[in-house]
Amino acid sequence: MKAKVLIMFFFSVAFVIAQSPSETIKKIQNKFRAIDNFTADFSQNFFNVSGNEQGKASGKFTYKKKNKFVVELKNQNIVSDGETIWNYDKKFNRVVISYLSDDPTSFSLEKFVFDYPPLCKAKIVKDNTAANDFVLELTPKDNDLQFKLVRIWKNSDNLISKMELVDVGDMKYAFTFSDIKVNQNLADQIFSFNPPKGTKVIDLR
């Protein structure tokens, strides 16, 4: 009986060690380098410091290399060509235009994949919601980044399937990607936004 317990213990330890943070980061980075673009359905949930859900949204996410992306929501479209970002509010027929680098609300997958890992302590933690899943957890080494920690899930193809971010105010944001399709035939024109006639334009550039 003791031998069986020891075997199970060493098997578990070996499995955890196999899931090293550096190997996991490298697999995700290599996958991102290998693809040009992807599309996915996504859902987003917001939680306050007590863990209570404060809101949720769902829509479609389209990504292309060099920080080009489109976020399509029911009442909002967010479009980036890698330099400029358009935030269009359908309900009020209003668009705010700014440089991507100046927009603190912009969401750059490339930063989380390539820029942030060297600035963070990385470890693999157990996903308490699933039986055999382990998650990459990044914690900033200093206070320069605008988050306290990020957890990243990857699927069997080494694509990010889920992210959780806790900001400096202890708000938690969860993003889940599904029906991911890579290397679609995407024209560059979709990563630029032409406001509909009559739209109120607020240009902050």
What pLDDT score does 90 carry?
96
Cα–Cα dist 47/52, whole Å: 5
- What is the C-alpha R_g of the chain? 19
Q: Domain for residue 5, yes or no? A: no
Total domain count, the chain: 1
Q: Domain for residue 4, yes or no? A: no
Q: Domain for residue 15, yes or no? A: no
182 near 159, Cβ under 8 Å?
yes
> For 144-171, how does the pLDDT look when each residue is reduced to its tens digit (9 = 90+)?
898 999 999 999 999 999 999 999 999 9
What is the DSSP code (8-state) at residue 58?
A: E
Reduce the secondary structure of 150-202 to three states and give it as a string: EEEEECCCCCEEEEEEECCCCCEEEEEEEEEEECCCCCHHHHCCCCCCCCEEE
What is the mean pLDDT of the segment spanning 128-154?
88
Q: Domain for residue 10, yes or no? A: no
Q: Domain for residue 2, yes or no? A: no
Q: Domain for residue 125, yes or no? A: yes
What pLDDT score does 16 carry?
45
What is the mean pLDDT of the segment spanning 80-91?
96
pLDDT band at 98 (very low <50, low <70, confident <90, very high): very high
Q: Say if residue 8's pLDDT is above 70.
A: no
What phi, psi does 52 have (nearest 5°)?
Answer: -85, 135
What is the mean pLDDT of the segment spanning 7-23?
56
Q: Say if residue 11's pLDDT is above 70.
A: no
Q: Up-side HSE of residue 152: CA atoms within 13 Å toward CB?
A: 23
Domain of residue 117, residue span? 21-203
Q: Domain for residue 12, yes or no? A: no
CATH number for 49: 2.50.20.10
Q: Global pTM?
A: 0.83
What pLDDT score does 135 carry?
93
What pLDDT score does 7 carry?
41
Q: Domain for residue 176, yes or no? A: yes
> For 31-85, how does the pLDDT look when each residue is reduced to its tens digit (9 = 90+)?
999 999 999 999 999 999 999 999 999 999 999 999 999 999 999 999 999 999 9
What pLDDT score does 10 carry?
39
